[in-house]
Amino acid sequence: MAPYVRKTAYKGPVKALVLDWAGTAVDYGCIGPVAVFLDVFRRRGVTPTIEEARTPMGLMKKDHIRAMCAMPDLAQRWAAVHGQAPDEADVDAMYLETEPLMVGSIKNHCELIPGLLGAVAAFRDMGLTIGSTTGYTGSMMEVLRPEAARQGYRPDAVYCSTDVPAGRPYPWMCYRNAIALGVYPMEAMVKVGDTVSDVQEGQNAGMWTIALTKSGNELGLPLEAAESLPPAELAARLTAIENRLREAGAHYVAQDISQVPELLTAINERLSQGERP
């Protein structure tokens, strides 16, 4: 097949997906990272709220700490304990502790999200390749990748925040996936993730984006806890999450990865009409 040269609109099908890791492929509810961020602040006498710990999720871990330190309420509580707002030296010190703590946490939160392997099988049946991006660093992924492989999940490409000049919302990890998978143009790829920064990453890379509402950081509950919510409360919370992710620019939303294969049909239809994300 001749290489695609952009002179007209691309009207072919989706060729590849780029999946996030925690909250999308593993660690239902994105529990592991939150526990670490809470811990490193508590060690310094400051207790973040769950919302403060979750809001920057998806960023490179050092950027996540930096974003938390910039939150006015959290910075004010820090200043009450330390006499001044947190500075870059504080960010550096907390990040040094975060790295080994996160590696330890990953080992306890690496279970595949139910439905992942079925979705991956469906993607393979469609002839798609599977890449991935993450806010985790290289040393963290050295722990997570073999654990995921042991359970049967082996994406074709893996790029993390330390492989590129800057993590999300910059598109560099998505571009690295496109190169590794040999996919062009970027609208032939779909980014799947559970955070606002995932959506922004896909947008900035020129990809279609699918955001997950139930399995990831936005709901922030383990599977059993999510399933135990009263149906009306769960529905209301998922609707609010969907609205946030759509406002961030998500083209489609789903509760978890198991619902993604059916959405690709709609994307393929839009591509066939020459639409771009």
pLDDT one-digit tens code per residue, 197-255: 999 999 999 999 999 999 999 999 999 999 999 999 999 999 999 999 999 999 999 99
| Average pLDDT across the chain, whole number | 95
Q: What is the pTM of this model?
A: 0.90
What's domain 32-108's superfamily in CATH? Putative phosphatase; domain 2 (1.10.150.240)
Domain 16-31+110-272 has CATH 3.40.50.1000: yes
Exposed/middle/buried for residue 265 (C-beta within 10 Å: 0-12, 13-18, 19+):
exposed
Instruction: Please confirm, yes or no, whether 61 is among the known catalytic residues.
Output: yes
- What is the pLDDT at residue 141? 94
- What is the pLDDT at residue 1? 54
What's the whole-number mean pLDDT along residues 55-75? 93
- What is the pLDDT at residue 4? 67
Q: Considering Cα of 109, then 127, then 198, then 169, what sign does the dihedral take?
A: positive
- Identify the weakest region by mean pLDDT among 98-102, 154-158, 189-193, 246-250: 98-102
The ranges assigned to domains in the chain are 16-31+110-272, 32-108
**Is pLDDT larger for residue 8 or for residue 177?**
177
Asked whether residue 161 carries a pLDDT value surpassing 80, the answer given is yes
Distances (CA, A) of 4 to 26, 174, 185: 34, 19, 8
Instruction: Provide φ and ψ at 103, rounded to 5°.
Output: -60, -45
- What is the pLDDT at residue 262? 97
- What is the pLDDT at residue 73? 96
Residue with tokens 């955001």, as numbered in its chain? 211
- What is the pLDDT at residue 99? 86
Which residues fall within 8 angstroms of residue 240, CB to CB, at 6 or more apart? none
What's the whole-number mean pLDDT along residues 74-91? 96
Instruction: Please confirm, yes or no, whether 20 is among the known catalytic residues.
Output: yes
Query: 16-31+110-272 with 32-108: one CATH topology?
Result: no
For residue 2, name the pLDDT band (cuts at 50, 70, 90): low
Catalytic residue among 15, 61, 62, 191: 61
Euclidean distance between CA atoms 90 and 68, whole angstroms: 12
Q: Percentage of the chain surpassing pLDDT 90?
A: 89
- What is the pLDDT at residue 104? 86
For residue 190, name the pLDDT band (cuts at 50, 70, 90): very high
Are 199 and 245 a contacting pair, CB within 8 Å? yes
Euclidean distance between CA atoms 267 and 251, whole angstroms: 9
What's the whole-number mean pLDDT along residues 177-200? 97
Specify the DSSP element, H or E, that contains 252: strand 252-254
Are 106 and 32 a contacting pair, CB within 8 Å? yes
What's the whole-number mean pLDDT along residues 192-198? 96
Neighbours of 2 (CB within 10 A): 4
Asked whether residue 7 carries a pLDDT value surpassing 90, the answer given is no
Euclidean distance between CA atoms 136 and 225, whole angstroms: 25
Specify the DSSP element, H or E, that contains 122: helix 116-125
Catalytic residue among 7, 11, 15, 20: 20
